[in-house]
């Protein structure tokens, strides 16, 4: 495997970072997870715009232009000879001395990894995910905007641990007011009476790239979709629920807190969106220069 670090393409065994990197020491940095299908990187531009916005929000200067970042990302995928897979693009605050002060780090560091990924087993896409409501809440926008994809994902990891310990694959996370925010790494959508709703970003949801892509698909298919504040009641009483995310793509949620959602199986709108998203993902994107 070839990994890009600060302008160099390195073998995996040689791809190392300093123990004084503030991304490691303090989770100080931002990242993007990006998918590529059939030799094309899906929504690369949108991902990079979000990366640079996240960096700007935390006063982190990325030491290359967005065009240079796009080129480096394409070259990393090409160097690994992959046609389908997942990119993890990280920008850390960089190497510095001990202490929280970001000024101790003279230059940010860029790391790009291209590999394969399978977030859930194939049978979960056929049968759907079981969900719980976790006790871990999403941070309030007053502490950190949910629109910033920071390197500190401990909040999400704690929620994932709760789900795993309960024997479930995913957890629904609430905000401090008790409204639905998102799942541990995915946005959530509820289907009721043929109409779809999803929590707004101000409820604690990430402004997901796949979320937007699926909302575009619904508009083309004539499926009404609204952003609305919701509680667990809307999930409990839904006809269908599905999750979206770069790694997860589109996948059904079939129960919450041991209550079946709808029939307890992936519903027709969810299955249609899975099919249409697969077509979209395999037909558009930035071509990789192999």
pLDDT tens digits, one per residue of 99-117: 999 999 999 999 999 999 8
User: How far apart are alpha carbons 64 and 86 in whole angstroms?
Assistant: 22
> What's the angle, vertex CA 219, arms to CA 211 and CA 266, rounded to 5?
60
How far from chain centre, in Å, is Cα 83?
20
pLDDT of 223 reads: 97
- Range list for CATH 3.30.470.10 in the chain: 2-115
pLDDT of 150 reads: 96
Rounded to the nearest 10°, the torsion over CA 140, 207, 222, 267 is -70
Give tens-digit pLDDT for 113-162: 999 987 788 889 999 999 999 999 998 888 888 889 999 999 999 999 99
- The CATH class given to the 122-281 domain equals alpha beta
pLDDT of 260 reads: 98
Phi, psi of 209 (to 5 degrees): -70, -45
pLDDT of 215 reads: 98
Asked whether the beta carbons of 225 and 196 are under 8 A apart, the reply is: yes
Write the DSSP symbol of residue 21: B
H or E stretch covering 273: helix 268-281
Locate tokens 């969810």: which residue?
A: 270
149 is catalytic: yes
Percent of the chain scoring above 90 in pLDDT: 93
Mean of pLDDT values over 68-83 = 97
The per-residue pLDDT of the chain, averaged, comes to 96
- Range list for CATH 3.20.10.10 in the chain: 122-281
Percent of the chain scoring above 70 in pLDDT: 100
pLDDT of 142 reads: 85
pLDDT of 170 reads: 96
Tell me how crowded residue 190 is: count the other CB atoms within 10 A of its CB: 23
User: How far apart are alpha carbons 58 and 253 in whole angstroms?
Assistant: 33
SS3 of 242, please? strand
Asked whether the beta carbons of 43 and 283 are under 8 A apart, the reply is: no
Domain 2-115 has CATH 3.40.50.1400: no
Asked whether the beta carbons of 49 and 41 are under 8 A apart, the reply is: no
Q: Which of 2, 16, 149, 195 is catalytic?
A: 149
Rounded to the nearest 10°, the torsion over CA 140, 142, 144, 147 is 80
Answer yes or no: is pLDDT of 163 > 80.
Answer: yes
Parallel, antiparallel, or unpaired for β 129-133 and 2-5? unpaired
SS3 of 63, please? coil
pLDDT of 73 reads: 98
């Amino acid at each position: 495997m070839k990994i890009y670090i600060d302008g160099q393409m390195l073998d995996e065994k040689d791809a190392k970072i300093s123990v004084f990197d503030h991304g490691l020491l303090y989770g100080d940095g931002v990242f993007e997870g990006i998918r590529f299908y059939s030799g094309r990187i899906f929504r690369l531009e949108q991902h990079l715009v979000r990366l640079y916005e996240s960096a700007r929000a935390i006063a982190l200067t990325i030491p290359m232009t967005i065009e240079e970042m796009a080129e480096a990302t394409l070259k990393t995928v090409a160097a690994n000879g992959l046609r389908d897979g997942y990119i993890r693009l990280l920008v850390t605050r960089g190497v510095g001395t001990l202490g929280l002060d970001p000024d101790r780090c003279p230059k940010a560091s860029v790391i790009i990894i291209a590999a394969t990924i399978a977030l859930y087993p194939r049978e979960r896409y056929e049968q759907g995910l079981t969900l719980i409501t976790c006790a871990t809440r999403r941070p309030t926008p007053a502490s950190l905007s949910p629109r910033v994809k920071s390197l500190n994902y401990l909040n999400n990891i704690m929620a994932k641990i709760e789900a795993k310990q309960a024997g479930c694959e995913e957890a629904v996370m609430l905000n401090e007011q008790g409204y639905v925010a998102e799942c541990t790494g995915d946005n959530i959508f509820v289907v009721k009476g043929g109409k779809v709703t999803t929590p707004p970003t101000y409820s604690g949801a990430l402004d997901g790239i796949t979320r937007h892509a699926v909302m575009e698909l619904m508009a083309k298919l004539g499926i009404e979709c609204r952003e609305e504040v919701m509680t667990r009641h809307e999930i409990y009483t839904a006809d269908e629920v599905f999750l979206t995310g770069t790694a997860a793509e589109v996948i059904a949620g079939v129960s919450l807190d041991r209550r079946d959602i709808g029939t307890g199986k992936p519903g027709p709108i969810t299955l249609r969106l899975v099919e249409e998203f697969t077509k979209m993902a395999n037909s558009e994107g930035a071509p990789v220069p192999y």
